[in-house]
Amino acid sequence: MKQLHRQSSLSKQHRPHHRTRSLASYLVREHRLLFVLLGFLLASSFFLVYPSLAPHPSSLSSSAYAATTSSAAIVTRNPRVFSTTANNVATARRLPVGVRKKPLRVVVTGGAGFVGSHLVDKLLARGDSVIVVDNFFTGRKENLAHHLTNPRFELIRHDVVEPILLEVDQIYHLACPASPVHYKFNPIKTIKTNVMGTLNMLGLAKRVGARFLLTSTSEVYGDPLEHPQKESYWGHVNPIGVRSCYDEGKRTAETLTMDYHRGAGVEVKLLLLDRGVSLTTVYLAGNLSSSYVAQI
Ligand SMILES: O=c1ccn([C@@H]2O[C@H](COP(=O)(O)OP(=O)(O)O[C@H]3OC[C@@H](O)[C@H](O)[C@H]3O)[C@@H](O)[C@H]2O)c(=O)[nH]1
């Protein structure tokens, strides 16, 4: 009985070893191991190579990114912010083969305006769902008329100085009177739009975890003493002039944006539109809209 027991325990001790040996001989037979290794190699190299075959714009390095934007006559600021977010996104967006990118829900404030309506065209064309929030101060419904029957498009008449709650992934905050005649028309309203409107949209970004882009302006440099203005240049500004509602409003909007980034972890982008260059020319060159969409 003892012997039997010892025998059975012995055979138990030997079984795993025997199993390993038979597995090994199975793999070695007919070059099976080689095929298994080849399979692993093929699969992993495909996963590694695939993202580089079709790079997402957001995975651009900060320098490549700056190059794209400057060629489109847009001035970008704070490369540090870009590189932080771009790196995170590049890692997060690496999708396995066959898995399609989820369409994004995007809100564009000031989307009925000149820049905004072109941006909406691009966003819809890339497959996103777009909500435009605009009070039609200078924007026109006709700019968006061709999208009104699109189920992925919504238009809301709303003033950004009032809070709004929307479930979105990205916020492009453009709402602001942009030309001197419009922003000087009611300067108090202009600065209110820049400060309260930006606060409301940043608050929304924080609440729903959306990424945020602010369109700023080269006017934040005031009457610059340096040409062209570099990232390190802070401007030569007038806080009390008749244009200050716009210039200082946008400066404050930039400050708020960076404070929400540092203090609340909101992923942000600042985009300076250079009004010295004809935006129409840039549009016609086909540059602005594509790099613009690439911002977030
Ligand atoms: O209080 C306001 C003011 C303006 N708006 C909207 O904001 C949009 C502004 O578009 P405009 O065509 O006047 O101007 P642009 O498209 O050239 O401005 C763009 O470039 C310059 C940036 O400073 C602006 O923030 C950006 O919108 C309009 O649709 C206007 O109705 C609001 O929704 N709320």
Task: Please tell me the predicted confidence (pLDDT) of residue 135.
Answer: 97
* Same domain membership, residue 37 and residue 112: no
* Same domain membership, residue 155 and residue 19: no
Q: Which of 1-10, 12-21, 256-265 has the lowest mean pLDDT?
A: 1-10
CA of 139 to the centre of ligand 1 (A): 7
* Same domain membership, residue 13 and residue 137: no
* Same domain membership, residue 93 and residue 126: yes
Task: Please tell me the predicted confidence (pLDDT) of residue 47.
Answer: 62
CA of 111 to the centre of ligand 1 (A): 8
Task: Supply the CATH number for residue 231's domain.
Answer: 3.40.50.720
What tokens were used for 173? Answer: 């905050």
Q: Of the residues 117, 120, 131, 138, which should be mutated to test ligand 1's pocket, given the most ligand atoms within 8 Å of the CB?
A: 138
Residue 65 φ/ψ, nearest 5 degrees: -65, -45
- Nearest protein CA to atom 4 of ligand 1, as residue: 176
What tokens were used for 106? Answer: 């995007």
* Same domain membership, residue 200 and residue 84: yes
Is the pLDDT at 70 greater than 70? The verdict is: no
CA of 63 to the centre of ligand 1 (A): 29
Task: Please tell me the predicted confidence (pLDDT) of residue 19.
Answer: 65
Task: Please tell me the predicted confidence (pLDDT) of residue 1.
Answer: 47
Q: Which domain holds residue 161?
A: 56-293
Using DSSP, state whether 140 is helix, strand or coil: coil
DSSP 71-105: HTTEEE--HHHHHHHHHHHHHHT-PPTTPPPPPPE
CA of 185 to the centre of ligand 1 (A): 14
Task: Please tell me the predicted confidence (pLDDT) of residue 199.
Answer: 98
- Nearest protein CA to atom 26 of ligand 1, as residue: 174
Is the pLDDT at 240 greater than 50? The verdict is: yes
Point out the ligand 1 atom lying closest to the alpha carbon of residue 161.
Answer: 1
Please give the Cα distance from 173 to 154 (Å, whole number): 16
**In the chain, how many domains are there?**
2
CA of 265 to the centre of ligand 1 (A): 27
- Nearest protein CA to atom 19 of ligand 1, as residue: 115
CB-based pocket (< 6 A), ligand 1: 109-110, 112-116, 134-139, 159-160, 174-178, 193, 215, 217, 273
* Same domain membership, residue 216 and residue 170: yes
* Same domain membership, residue 68 and residue 34: no
* Same domain membership, residue 68 and residue 30: no
* Same domain membership, residue 119 and residue 13: no
Is the pLDDT at 85 greater than 70? The verdict is: no
User: Averaged over 209-216, what is the pLDDT?
Assistant: 95
Q: Determine how β-strand 268-273 pairs with β-strand 74-76.
A: antiparallel
* Same domain membership, residue 77 and residue 13: no
Q: Of the residues 108, 115, 193, 251, which should be mutated to test ligand 1's pocket, given the most ligand atoms within 8 Å of the CB?
A: 115
* Same domain membership, residue 39 and residue 144: no
What tokens were used for 276? Answer: 């010295």
Q: Which of 81-85, 102-106, 163-167 has the lowest mean pLDDT?
A: 81-85
Please give the Cα distance from 245 to 253 (Å, whole number): 11
Q: Is the CA virtual torsion 249, 254, 258, 264 positive or negative?
A: positive
Q: Is the ipTM of this complex over 0.90?
A: yes
Catalytic residue list: 246
User: How high does pLDDT run on average in the chain?
Assistant: 77
* Same domain membership, residue 31 and residue 102: no
- Nearest protein CA to atom 33 of ligand 1, as residue: 134
